[in-house]
A and B are shown apart, each in its own frame.
Chain A
Amino acid sequence: AQKVTQAQTEISVVEKEDVTLDCVYETRDTTYYLFWYKQPPSGELVFLIRRNSFDEQNEISGRYSWNFQKSTSSFNFTITASQVVDSAVYFCALSEAYSGGGADGLTFGKGTHLIIQP
């Protein structure tokens, strides 16, 4: 069975600090996709990034970067020079490969509540 663990329940940092959110996953599939979503107080899940299991290249998008390491089954998310607007709950999620008649529901971690203090 697939599982996503976000061990950090809450992180609080001062604005402009760098912060890393950890994500560890478990899956028996060799083909799978990993996602990060941001959930502001409004409730909507905002898509940040998707990674497939064959692409271990790290990715940078502005102040955001992601480190995917299959050897440790981790997909960590770093925010550089954090801002108050980054405050939200962040979720890591996993989707295993489609096979046979299966569908592709996401398995989410419990989320990390990130608080950026001014």
Chain B
Amino acid sequence: DAGVTQSPTHLIKTRGQQVTLRCSPKSGHDTVSWYQQALGQGPQFIFQYYEEEERQRGNFPDRFSGHQFPNYSSELNVNALLLGDSALYLCASSFPPPTGRRYGYTFGSGTRLTVV
């Protein structure tokens, strides 16, 4: 039973560029959440998708956008990259709210994004 799969594992981009990160949820899960984890910090919630719609967004600018596909996989797009966007980006899958929090969230290993 595959867990959450994220790609790529590492990425280096130049300031001002755009990046797309991908996530495949755990089998049986249809809800995907994205988190940003800066070095030495806890993960911060970016947004959550289910039924192919953004359902909740954390305190992140519009440069961060996402998409969910009919097969429940998801993409995170970041435009006009800043040096401060360098972080580990984690994807978590779950059942949709409110069931999700009762059964927990499964996290992937993340994508390490470095902006230079």
Is B66's CB within 8 Å of the partner chain A? no
Q: Is the CB of A106 within 8 A of B105?
A: yes
Is A33's CB within 8 Å of the partner chain B? yes
Contact partner of B88 (CB less than 8 A), chosen from A43, A50, A93, is A43
Q: Is the CB of A43 within 8 A of B109?
A: yes
Distance in angstroms between the alpha carbons of A110 and B88 in the assembled complex: 14
Q: A101-B55, A108-B44 are in contact. Are A47 and B106 (CB under 8 A)?
A: yes
Contact partner of B110 (CB less than 8 A), chosen from A43, A46, A103, A109, is A43
Which A residues between 94 and 118 are near B, CB-CB below 8 angstroms? 95, 97-98, 101-111
* Contact partners of B110 in chain A: CB under 8 A: 43-44
> What is the interface size of chain A, counting residues whose CB is below 8 A from a CB of the partner?
29
**Whole-angstrom distance between the Cβ of B70 and the nearest chain A Cβ:** 19
Is A71's CB within 8 Å of the partner chain B? no
What are 14 of the A-B contact pairs (CB < 8 Å)?
A: A33-B102, A37-B107, A43-B90, A44-B110, A47-B107, A98-B97, A102-B56, A103-B33, A103-B56, A103-B97, A105-B33, A107-B45, A108-B42, A108-B43
Interface, chain B (partner A; CB < 8 A): 33, 35, 40-45, 47-48, 50, 55-56, 58, 88, 90, 92, 97-98, 100-102, 104-110, 112
